[in-house]
Structure 1
Amino acid sequence: MFNDEILNTMTKKTIANILVPTDFSECAANALEAAISVAKVHNARITLLHVVSPIPEFYGLQKDRIVKEQQQELLDSQSDRIMKLGNSLQENHGLSVVPIIVVGQTVATVLETAKALDVDLIVMGTHGIKGFREFLIGSNTYGVTEKSASPVLSIPQSSITNGFEKIMFPVRNIPNALEKYEFLKTFVATGNASLFIYGIYKIDDEHLMEAYKKVSAFVKGIENDWLSIKLTSVITEESLADEALEQAAQMKCDLIVITSKVTSSFNDFFLGKFAQQVINHSIMPVLHIK
């Protein structure tokens, strides 16, 4: 159920350090544009991270030497590329940019870097995944989102981000559903945005009326934070993620904000988690806060 003390326990958090992994693809470039927009609002530093996959080693001194030379050549070329990108961002946008290049596996390296630098936000592009494949392997973005302690902003390749002014916050009947609101408020950092709180509940959820009353009271307490705020609720037998995505598309929202405490049980994984479904299928940016 919802926490009665939400408004009393939320703490203010600044956004000063943004981590942006890049593979120099169009998808990554789109995510970088979104990160630039956020960095300008918060006067934040951008850490650009490029992860180079290790070249498999072979037995034998001669083959091992060749592999090391190939790895170094790849590192040198990619280092030059990310340095040029970082310099371009600093010159064109006046931002503080720190380029980093690391040899490793993408998800693990992003998580290790985020923890080491204590970043406030990770911004990543996502291609989206269709069908049964999403349950078996997922994406780098979801892999990071699943394990990251930092909030993750995922940017679909097809989306164009010019700031966030119409925001959907889907609320489910789960513990602490609203407790991360303060980060959302900090993230938006403007009184010119509209917030749409969308209560989505399963038809067999318990204590629905109690949940609705608590969300309604919460909305009244934050009305002055937004240009406008609206609360709508729906009870459904369908997928909660599908309901949220359909409604967000109809309202032409430019950001969906989700919170969750991800579990790792096989049953949850196989059925498809709310967060995974939203991130992988959304046509608009998704901010995931744990």
Structure 2
Amino acid sequence: MENKVITNILVPTDFSECADNAMQAAIAVAKFHKARLTLVHVVAPIPELYGLEEDRATKEQQQELLETQTERISIIAAALREEQGLFVGPLIRIGQTITQICETVAELNIDLVIMGTHGIRGFREFLIGSNTYGVTEKSRAPVLSIPLSSKIYQFKKIMFPVRNIPNALEKYLFLKTFMGRNTPKLVVYGIYKIDDTHLATAYKRVSLFVKDIRKEWSEVKVASVITEENLADEVLERAIEMRCDLIVITAKVGKSIKDFFLGKFAQQMVNHSTLPVLHIK
């Protein structure tokens, strides 16, 4: 990923408290980067019914819903333009939420997606899933997820968990772009399973990586752990203990790549974190 500016931010909304909270973070990020905000609301299609009268009623119901939601999102966009001095565009899409958001990312050349998340755990997680994690998994752009419980919109201490250092610099460049002129504290957190091999090599790579980036931050702290515990829980607990206010995770895309920051780990991080999570591919 090349080190470019952030000029185009997408903010999906379902008009919930969770989405409104993420909107506040998006406003802060957009002001900092002087970026355009695009608000998108996805309307689920109403199933078609057989018969002329039923079909007509369905289309009328769909059109009424579209008009209502279009007016609603347009009012929000206009208020943001007037009150925040931002360039804000409203958008309505029809279809499946994750698919429509990811298609919008590609079509509008979005640099960053900012979404709210509820922080779901346990059995419900597998029943209802998470639109935010789904977008995180499939979006071509980085995704900043904002938990409902988080009111942090400026980041002063960042945790950057690493395991496989190759390609870390590629992800790090977007983090630098995201932070811009700010130079907060950075915690590079090496985390390893107890059965990992070549630990000495991994430690050396972490040290070299930190040496390369140290001058660009107000403070760089290095920490590491070898654990038998759940890796996501380990990162989340340590981030809270160290009073971090943003966690950055990275991922590669590809079915053949078994990377540490794929699948279950990323899902748990996005769904369970009480801190904002920036997911960079």
Structure 1 residue 127 displacement after superposition: 0.8
Unaligned ranges ≥5, structure 1: 1-9
Q: Residue 6 of structure 1 corresponds to which residue in structure 2?
A: none
Q: Which runs of 5+ in 2 are unaligned?
A: none
Residue 12 (str. 1) matches residue 3 (str. 2): yes
| Corresponding letter in the other structure for 1:116 | E
Q: Which residue of 1 aligns with 2:41?
A: 50
Distance 1:205 1:20 in 2: 39
Kindly report which structure 2 residues correspond to 1:211-230, keeping only aligned pairs within 5 A, or say none. 211-230=202-221
Q: TM-score, normalised by structure 2?
A: 0.94
The match for 2:170 among 169, 176, 179 is 179
Q: Deviations over 1:134-192 (max 9, x none)?
A: 34652000111111110000010110023111110011237534431000011011334
User: Within 2, Cα distance between the matches of 1:256 and 1:109?
Assistant: 26
Q: % of aligned pairs identical?
A: 66
- 1:232-271 aligned at under 5 Å gives the runs 232-262=223-253
Question: Counterpart in 2 of 1:203?
Answer: 194
| Alignment partner of 2:95 out of 104, 108, 113 | 104
Residues of 1 paired with 2:139 and 2:80: CA distance? 26
Which has the larger displacement, 203-212 or 271-280?
A: 271-280
Give the Å deviation of 1:130. 1.1
Paired AA for residue 76 in structure 1:
E
Quote how far apart the aligned CAs of 1:223 are: 1.3
Partner of 1:68: 59
Aligned residue for 2:138? Answer: 147
SS at match of 2:42: strand
Shift of 1:222: 1.0
Q: Kindly indicate whether the alpha-carbon contact (under 8 Å) linking 2:159 and 2:189 is maintained by their aligned counterparts in 1.
A: yes
> Could you tell me how far apart the structure 2 residues matched to 1:156 and 1:188 are?
20
Q: Is the deviation greater in 145-154 or in 218-227?
A: 218-227
Q: 1:272 to 1:162 in 2, by over 3 A?
A: closer
| Residues 107-116 or 131-140, more deviating | 131-140
For normalisation by structure 1, the TM-score amounts to 0.91
The match for 1:82 among 66, 69, 73 is 73
Which residue identity is paired with 2:239? A
1:26 matched to which residue of 2?
17
* SS across alignment from 2:275: coil
Instruction: Summarize the Cα distance change of 1:192–1:245 in structure 2 as closer, same or farther, 3 Å threshold.
Output: same
1:71 alignment partner, SS class: helix
For 1:35-78, what per-residue CA distance to the aligned partner results, in whole angstroms no more than 9, with x for missing partners? 11111111000000011111111000100101111111111111
Contact 1:50–1:82 (CA under 8 A) maintained in structure 2:
yes
Residue 127 of structure 1 aligns to which amino acid in structure 2? Answer: H
Number of equivalent positions: 278
Aligned to 2:108: 117
Could you tell me how far 1:132 is from its partner in structure 2? Answer: 3.5
Change (3 A) 1:262 1:207: same
Q: 1:94 aligns with which of 82, 85, 99?
A: 85
Deviations 1:173-221 (A, max 9, x none): 3753443100001101133411111100011111111111111111111
1:29 Cα deviation from its structure 2 partner: 0.3
* Structure 1 contact 33–161 (Cα < 8 Å) conserved: no
Hey, what does 1:165 align to over in structure 2? 156
Whole-angstrom distance in 2 between the partners of 1:86 and 1:176: 38
d(CA) in 2 for partners of 1:111, 1:192: 31
- Do the aligned partners of 1:177 and 1:260 also contact (CA within 8 Å) in 2? no
Deviates more, 1:278-287 or 1:129-138: 129-138
